[in-house]
């Protein structure tokens, strides 16, 4: 099944974050954001936002200076996809409506919130069983 933006349930940054981490794991050295951006075919500004989230989560480390850049804090077999998902999933933003929502809308919102929380829990449990190294191994077998 071909994946498009309309059928993705994961945060948009998740897929790119995994790609970034796989590149860093494969290379093993610290890389500049410009080098990473070229490798994963992403705009450097978007990439730096993702790298900041990954650094805040303790997945990547940053070094300043001539030999600086971004590198993994742990080996690929120690980084679970659940950790990556949690790092980049972001917070939901409240939308301020002009009119008060109807009772039906409020019930639907509550039901959908409950459903999506359960989906999120199940996705995290599933992703916890896979590491970055597992995914990299799968790609080398194909």
pLDDT value for 101: 74
pLDDT digits (tens, 9 = 90+) for 26-76: 988 899 989 999 999 988 899 999 999 999 999 999 999 888 899 999 999
Instruction: Determine the Cα–Cα distance for residues 64 and 76; give it in Å rounded to an integer.
Output: 23
Of the pLDDT bands very low, low, confident and very high (cuts 50, 70, 90), residue 9 is: low
Closest CA to 75 of 59, 88, 62: 59
Domains in the chain, please, with CATH? 10-141 (1.10.10.10)
Closest CA to 29 of 79, 64, 70, 84: 70
Report, as an integer, the average pLDDT of 120-128. 93
pLDDT digits (tens, 9 = 90+) for 68-101: 899 999 999 999 999 999 999 865 545 555 667 7
pLDDT value for 102: 83
Instruction: Determine the Cα–Cα distance for residues 57 and 51; give it in Å rounded to an integer.
Output: 10
């Amino acid at each position: 099944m071909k994946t498009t933006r309309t059928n993705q349930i994961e945060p948009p940054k998740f897929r790119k974050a995994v790609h970034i981490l796989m590149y860093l794991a494969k290379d093993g050295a610290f890389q500049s954001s410009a080098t990473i951006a070229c490798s994963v075919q992403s705009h450097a500004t978007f990439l730096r936002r993702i790298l900041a989230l990954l650094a805040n989560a303790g997945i990547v480390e940053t070094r300043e200076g001539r030999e600086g850049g971004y590198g993994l804090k742990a080996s690929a077999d120690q980084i679970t996809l659940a950790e990556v998902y949690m790092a980049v999933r972001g917070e939901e933003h409240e939308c301020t409506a002009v009119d008060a929502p109807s009772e039906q809308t409020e019930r639907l919102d509550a039901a959908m919130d409950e459903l999506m929380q359960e989906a999120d829990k199940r996705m995290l449990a599933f992703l916890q069983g896979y590491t970055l190294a597992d995914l990299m191994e799968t790609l080398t077998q194909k």
